[in-house]
Structure 1
Amino acid sequence: MTRFDCHQHLWPAPLVAALRDRDSYPYLREWTLFLPGENPYRVDPASHDPVRRGRRETGRVLLSLSSPLGIEHLPGTDGAALIDVWHESALRLPDPFHLWAAASVTSPDPDSLARVLRADRVAGLQLPATALGDPASIERLSPLLRELERADKPLLVHPGPAAVEQGDLPDWWPAVVPYVAQMHRSWAAWHVAGRKTHANLRVAFVALAGLAPLHHERMAARGGEFGTPDPNVFYETSSYGPDAIEALAAVVGPGAVVHGSDRPYAEPLDPARFPDEFFHVNPERLLGG
């Protein structure tokens, strides 16, 4: 059986070059990344070497464009050009790397997405949680979601750009505070509105959806409904360990959990410590196998 890591990042050389050519966010200066809502980040070049990375893997790896870069939110051709670079260069990467497609959320182009989704190495579409934070946003992006349904491929919801905040915040702040809040919000929006309009779409929320399902008791106390967990909603594990994963699985069921690492920012789970289905069966179901 194929072992899956449903969520990693690797920037192909053409994307690195394109980010270095930029004079506005997001941009690279040599190997230092600059984003408006985060401290400058020193990138390890080895983390984006596909040969070195490939030697570390034992199964299929699904790569995604780093949504906190904000590329999907860039206006007009600015974002579209970088998304094209991502698709063209990531599709040329060797095994074990497959990819999640990306799409502009400022100027959605379902026809372009449909063409990209035809590639066998494209697992589905990743969208930033910052573009799916309320029912109206889900409705606005429905043309993209309908293309996914036609292709019978899933949606991956990933944290988007961190907002600019005041004060000297630690480097871990964006990943632990705004990213988690974004995931929680996008899960709630999907719970309220997404399934009503996209009945058959399979959806995976990165980082256990910010642990949103664990708030089901508070939701019920305030007049909401959780009910039976949605069998087409999945929860990816990156940056979490046994405490959070076991608590979430107790609410949504172990069949909803899929392994993802967020490498190079975190490491994969130890298969010896978690149910085998997280690595094989559940990802196959997410991907339509």
Structure 2
Amino acid sequence: MTRFDCHQHLWPPALVEALRERDAFPYLREWTLYLPGENPYRVDPAAHDALRRRDRETGRVLLSLSSPLGIEHLPGTDGAALIDVWHASALELPEPFEVWAAASVTEPDPAVLARVLREPRVVGLQLPATALGDPASIERMSPLLSELERAGKPLLVHPGPARVEEGELPDWWAAVVPYVAQMHRSWAAWHVAGRKRHADLRIAFVALAGLAPLHHERLVARGGEFGSPDPNVFYETSSYGPDAINALIEVVGAGAIVHGSDRPYAEPLDPERFPAEIFTVNPGRLLGISGLHSRGR
């Protein structure tokens, strides 16, 4: 059965050049990335060599725009132009790469998204968690989410840009502190408001949703509700290992977990150490591939 990696990043040459041409965040100078809320990051050029990356893969790979860049939050034509570059250049990449669409969250345009979703190699839409952090934000994104439902394709929620903080912080800070908090917020917002508005939408939260479901006891103790796991909510594994993944399985079931690596920033999981379904059946169900078994506990 085909194995999936539901979450990787690869910048096609056209996107790299577009980022080098910019004078405002986000921008590249040669191979150093500059973002307002993170330390300058030295990018490994080999990590964005499509042919070299292709030779390392053994299954279907779903690529997404790097939402911490903040491109989806850029206003007007500034963001739209970069999103267009992403779609055009990513869809030219060779197999086994497939593409998560991107969309402006400052000026959502469901008509533009509908056209992109008609591309067979576009598997769904990625949105930054920073655009889904409370019920009101989910309402603002509903035109895009409704279009996604009509297309029968899923949503991937990914960390967005880190906010600017005072003082010197270690390089790992953004990935471990604000990214995780963003995922937790977006999960809570979806738990409160998302499913009520979008009954049939399949959704996956990157990085195990910041481990938000593990707080279900505190949620209930403080007056919230947490019942049976939602069969259309999935949790992607990137940067986590057995401790976190197995703990989450105890709460939401093995059928809710989908494999994603976040390569080139982390590596795929060892399939010998985890249930086979997280690499095969579960991602297929997230993507709406028919003929797969129901989720289990």
TM surpasses 0.5: yes
Corresponding residue number in structure 1 for 2:144: 144
Corresponding residue number in structure 2 for 1:110: 110
CA distance in structure 2 between the partners assigned to 1:82 and 1:137 by the alignment: 23
SS across alignment from 1:235: strand
Alignment of 1:92-171 (within 5 A): 92-171=92-171
Corresponding residue number in structure 1 for 2:210: 210
SS across alignment from 1:52: helix
Corresponding residue number in structure 2 for 1:5: 5
Corresponding residue number in structure 1 for 2:224: 224
With the length of structure 1 as denominator, give the TM-score of the two structures: 1.00
CA distance in structure 2 between the partners assigned to 1:223 and 1:75 by the alignment: 38
Q: Deviations over 1:69-97 (max 9, x none)?
A: 00000000000000000000000000010
CA distance in structure 1 between the partners assigned to 2:164 and 2:241 by the alignment: 29
Residues 1:285 and 2:282 aligned together: no
SS across alignment from 1:234: strand
Corresponding residue number in structure 2 for 1:179: 179
CA distance in structure 1 between the partners assigned to 2:126 and 2:22 by the alignment: 23
Structure 2 letter corresponding to 1:228: S
Corresponding residue number in structure 1 for 2:295: none
Corresponding residue number in structure 2 for 1:61: 61
CA distance in structure 1 between the partners assigned to 2:250 and 2:82 by the alignment: 40
SS across alignment from 1:98: strand
Corresponding residue number in structure 1 for 2:76: 76
Q: Deviations over 1:198-250 (max 9, x none)?
A: 00000000000000000000000000001111000000000000000000011
TM-superposed CA distance for 1:13, in Å, is 0.2
With the length of structure 2 as denominator, give the TM-score of the two structures: 0.97
Question: CA-atom RMSD, angstroms?
Answer: 0.3
CA distance in structure 2 between the partners assigned to 1:269 and 1:237 by the alignment: 8
**How many equivalent residue pairs?**
289
TM-superposed CA distance for 1:191, in Å, is 0.2
CA distance in structure 1 between the partners assigned to 2:121 and 2:176 by the alignment: 31
Structure 1 regions of 5+ residues with no counterpart?
none
SS across alignment from 1:141: helix
CA distance in structure 2 between the partners assigned to 1:284 and 1:147 by the alignment: 21
Q: Deviations over 1:96-126 (max 9, x none)?
A: 1001000000000100000000011001000
Structure 2 regions of 5+ residues with no counterpart?
290-297
SS across alignment from 1:157: strand
TM-superposed CA distance for 1:143, in Å, is 0.4
